């Protein structure tokens, strides 16, 4: 930003004085001055517990558990039940979101020392509380992730309903399937004894 001050003599309607010189002072300024603050409280809910050493354990996601280590300033994501492509995708989306919002160091995102885990180092800040900022961004990621999680849950419910309560076209009555005397490829009769 460049600040330009034009010197104008009193009682003169023109900017330039009679000698034709215009007084211009250029001062490069850096910084932002906030004149009107529109700060609002940011309220969010997370299903979390605090461990004995002060780490926050977040269980809201379907596929992963998130541990925010307050003392070590680290975030670690673990597979909830078993490692699948969905787990890796969720971990990658989480740490990409945190990296884009300046919460974790880009070069610290890596696989953890536990199979299927991913971790990253929280950046230090002189202005803000790093842990609170990380919590806010994790909550924001959950908010962005919620429509996808809801659609997957709806899909799973529809598939369960289709299996458990099929329509007339995909259902059979109990007596329609005829029973055969022998099924499978292993003969149970007429085998030669040794």
Q: Output the DSSP codes for 105-160.
A: -GGG-EE-SSTT-EEEEBPP-SSS-HHHHHHHHHHHHHHHHHHHHHHHHHHHHHHH
pLDDT of residue 190 exceeding 90, the answer is: no
Rounded (5°) CA angle 51-53-58: 35
SS3 68: strand
What are the backbone dihedrals phi and psi of residue 56, each rounded to the nearest 5 degrees, phi first? -100, 125
Considering the domain boundaries, does residue 31 fall inside one? no
Considering the domain boundaries, does residue 53 fall inside one? yes
The predicted structure's pLDDT at residue 49: 87
| Domain enclosing residue 126, as ranges | 48-163
Considering the domain boundaries, does residue 145 fall inside one? yes
Considering the domain boundaries, does residue 194 fall inside one? no
Considering the domain boundaries, does residue 137 fall inside one? yes
pTM: 0.62
Q: Among 63-77, 152-166, 171-185, which is the least confidently predicted range? A: 171-185
Considering the domain boundaries, does residue 18 fall inside one? no
Considering the domain boundaries, does residue 178 fall inside one? no
| Residue in this structure with the two tokens 């849950």, named with its chain if needed | 153
Considering the domain boundaries, does residue 2 fall inside one? no
Q: Among 29-38, 61-70, 72-81, 105-114, which is the least confidently predicted range? A: 29-38
* Number of domains comprising the chain: 1
CATH code of residue 62: 3.30.1360
């Amino acid at each position: 930003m460049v600040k330009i001050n034009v010197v104008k003599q009193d009682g003169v309607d023109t900017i330039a004085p009679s000698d034709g010189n215009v007084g211009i002072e250029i001062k490069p300024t850096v910084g932002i001055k906030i004149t009107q603050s529109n700060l609002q409280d940011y309220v969010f809910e997370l299903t979390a517990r605090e461990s004995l050493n002060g780490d926050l354990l977040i269980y809201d996601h379907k596929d992963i558990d998130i541990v925010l280590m307050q003392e070590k300033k680290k975030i670690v994501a673990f597979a909830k039940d078993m490692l699948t492509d969905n787990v890796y995708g969720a971990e990658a989306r989480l740490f990409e979101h945190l990296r884009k919002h300046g919460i974790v160091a880009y070069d610290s995102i890596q696989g953890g020392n536990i199979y299927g885990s991913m971790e990253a180092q929280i950046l230090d800040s002189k202005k803000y509380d790093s842990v609170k900022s990380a919590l806010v961004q994790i909550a924001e990621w959950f908010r962005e992730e919620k429509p996808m999680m809801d659609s997957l849950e709806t899909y799973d419910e529809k598939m369960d309903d289709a299996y458990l309560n099929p329509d007339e076209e995909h259902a059979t009555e109990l007596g329609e399937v005829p029973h055969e005397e022998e099924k499978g490829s292993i003969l149970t009769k007429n085998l030669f004894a040794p």
